[in-house]
Amino acid sequence: MIPTLPTPRDLLESFAEIRFPPKTDARLQWLIDRNSAGVLQPSERDELESLAQLGENMSLLRAKALVVLGRQPA
């Protein structure tokens, strides 16, 4: 079994609050809207896929931090 190191609480708190900056969140929504309208360009599709994957990874990290902290999402 591999030993684990304790994670500092302030790092967990940072992970629990992780979100896209407002500009990035607005860009993601704009790309989603263009995709829904069927007018997304190939380069925009790549950007949308990248942002969606990053958002999913951030959500998983946030969820794990909240579990360790014993909190519910706000």
Task: Render pLDDT for 17-69 as a digit per residue (tens, 0 to 9).
Answer: 999 999 999 999 999 999 999 999 999 999 999 999 999 999 999 999 999 99
1 part of a folded domain:
no
Q: Is the pLDDT reported for residue 3 higher than 80?
A: no
Note whether 61 and 15 are within 8 A (CB).
yes
φ, ψ of residue 20 to 5 degrees: the values are -65, 145
Record the pTM.
0.80
35 part of a folded domain:
yes
Residue 26 confidence (pLDDT): 98
Q: Which domain range does residue 23 map to?
A: 9-69
74 part of a folded domain:
no
- The total number of structural domains that make up the chain: 1
> How is the chain classified by DSSP, letter by letter?
----PPPPHHHHHHHHT----HHHHHHHHHHHHHHHHT---HHHHHHHHHHHHHHHHHHHHHHHHHHHHT----
